[in-house]
Amino acid sequence: MEKSILQMLINAGIMRDEDLLVQLELLKKSLTTSSANSNNKTLTEVFKNINANLRHLSLEIRSVIIVPPTNTSSRRSSSSSVGTSGSSIREVYHGLVNSEEDFVAKDYGSEFDPIELKYFSEMIYKIMAAHYLSSTDILGFKPAKYNEYQATTFLHRLESLGWLQRNDSNYLVLGSRSYLELHTFLCNIITNSEDLDGLAEDAKEARRNELRQQVLKLPQLLNY
C-alpha cells in the first residue's frame, strides 16, 4: 500500500487530501482481508513509514495547509501578509519533496531548464512583493530569448503543475506546490526583503519581528 501511495504522489506531483484519502480507501478495499487488516493505517502513519525509508535519499512526504486564493481586495497593502488570504477555508495538499531544499541549486531534472528556472524565480519574487500578478505583468519580464508564445506556454505549464494558480479575479498567485516545496526559499525572500542597516537598533529589531510575523503567516507545513 505504501508503495502505491508513493507512486501516486510521484506521478501527480501534489495531491489534495480528499483525493488521496479516496485512493487510500480504494487500495484498502483491493487488498485481501488479511492484508487489509495489517494495512489499516491512516495517511499520517503511511507517510511516517514512507519517510523513514526515504530520508537517506533526502526525500520525504510533506503536507501544506492552504487558504485558497479569493479576491484582490488586499492587493499590495503594505500591512497585509505576504502570500496569504483572509479566507477561513483550508485545503490540505500532500507531495514528495527534496528535504534539502535549495531553490537556486535544486535539480528539477527535465522539469525546468536554466532559463525557465530563472524566469520562475523572478515570478516568485514579484508575486511575493505584489501579492498577485496578471499574465500581462509576467509576460512583461519574459526572458529575452523567449517569444510571447514560449513564455505563455511556460506560464500555463507552471499552472498545470501546481506551482502557480489563479485567484477569483483570474490573477496569478503562488500555487500549493510552491508553498509545499519552496518554503525555505519563500521565508528567505520575506526576511531578506529589506535593508535594515540604516535603522536604529530598536527600529531594526521591531521590523525584524514584523517580518517574522509575515513568515508565520505563510501556509503551514506538516512534517511526518
- If you compute the radius of gyration of the chain from its CA atoms, what whole number of angstroms results? 20
Strand pairing category for 91-98 and 59-66 = antiparallel
Write down the residue that cell numbers 525572500 correspond to.
189
Between helix 148-160 and helix 114-130 the angle, nearest 10°, is 70
> Is 42 exposed, middle or buried, given 0-12, 13-18 or 19+ CB atoms closer than 10 A?
exposed
| Helix residue ranges, H only, 81-140 | 114-130, 135-139
pLDDT at 64 over 80: yes
Alpha carbon distance 79, 81 (integer Å): 7
Taking residues 80-88, what's their average pLDDT?
A: 44
Alpha carbon distance 10, 20 (integer Å): 12
| Helix residue ranges, H only, the chain | 2-12, 17-30, 33-38, 43-54, 114-130, 135-139, 148-160, 176-181, 183-191, 201-216
Local confidence band at 72 (pLDDT 50, 70, 90 cut-offs): low
Taking residues 167-179, what's their average pLDDT?
A: 93
Taking residues 65-73, what's their average pLDDT?
A: 70
DSSP string, 32-70: -HHHHHHT---HHHHHHHHHHHHGGGTEEEEEEEE----
For the stretch 174-215, pLDDT in tens is 999 999 989 888 998 898 877 888 888 888 889 888 888 989
More confident site: 112 or 83: 112
pLDDT at 173 over 70: yes
DSSP annotation of 81 reads P
pLDDT at 81 over 50: no
Tell me the domains of the chain and their CATH numbers.
58-223 (1.10.10.10)
Alpha carbon distance 45, 131 (integer Å): 36
Q: Nearest Cα to 165, choosing from 205, 199, 123?
A: 123
pLDDT at 53 over 70: yes
